[in-house]
Amino acid sequence: MNEEHSPMKLLMQRLQHNESEVVRQALEEIGRSGKGNREAIKMLQDFLKGERRMPLRVLAVQTIAKIKESPQSSAKEFKKPNVFQCPGAEKIKRVEILEVTCPYCHQKGTASVAGFEYEFECESCGGMIQRDIPESCIEKCPVGSECVGEGRYQKYLQGRKKAT
């Protein structure tokens, strides 16, 4: 078969069409038939460089994601997921939404604060608001810093020291 008239080449030519519907259909067909085709991915990337119609750009990105082959990981690279996560560590990692009243400007609002943060900035005035961090098992655990990461662990300990 002539390389110029291969089905993928014809679809790529349709990407240059002025009518959005023709381009949309071509992108959908490439998504169905282009799995693992590096040339198709390259052509879609080139298409994105010149295309200005946002819905078609979004569809092209989705098509690239669909046809891209994910590399197979070897058994050595495979990491067994943790079935059990320490509840104390999860509480420290989690981001909480708090209702706060700033002690400086007295504005009420909300703040999203990670479980290890003992102070955060007021959105209205920029003042630093402090809060009490409840005690967690990671303080006493011999591997507590490994559960949450060294940076979070140190910030948690600083917050606990200021609370006492």
CB-CB contact of 56 with 23 (8 Å): yes
pLDDT at 163: 60
Same domain, 12 and 61: yes
Same domain, 139 and 119: no
* 54-67 helix and 20-33 helix, angle to the nearest 10 degrees: 10
pLDDT at 85: 60
- C-beta atoms surrounding 1 within 10 Å: 6
pLDDT at 96: 83
Measured distance CA(156)–CA(12) in Å, rounded: 55
Question: Which region, left, alpha or beta, applies to residue 126 given φ > 0 means left and ψ of -120 to 50 means alpha?
Answer: left
pLDDT at 149: 81
110 is a domain residue: yes
139 is in which domain, residue-wise?
135-163
SS3 112: strand
84 is a domain residue: no
Q: Could you tell me how far CA 19 lies from the centroid of its own chain?
A: 34
Same domain, 142 and 124: no
Q: pTM of whole model > 0.85?
A: no
Domain count, the chain: 3
Amino acid at 134: P
Greater pLDDT, 69 or 153: 153
pLDDT at 164: 59
- The mean per-residue pLDDT over the stretch 118-139 comes to 86
Token representation of residue 3: 């390389």
Token representation of residue 121: 């900035």
CB-CB contact of 12 with 40 (8 Å): yes
For the segment 39-86, what is each residue's pLDDT rounded down to a tens digit?
A: 888 888 888 888 888 888 888 888 888 888 655 544 444 443 454 467
CB-CB contact of 60 with 27 (8 Å): yes
C-alpha distances out from residue 140 to 10, 88, 137, Å: 66, 11, 6
Same domain, 21 and 59: yes
pLDDT at 74: 45
SS3 138: helix
94 is a domain residue: yes
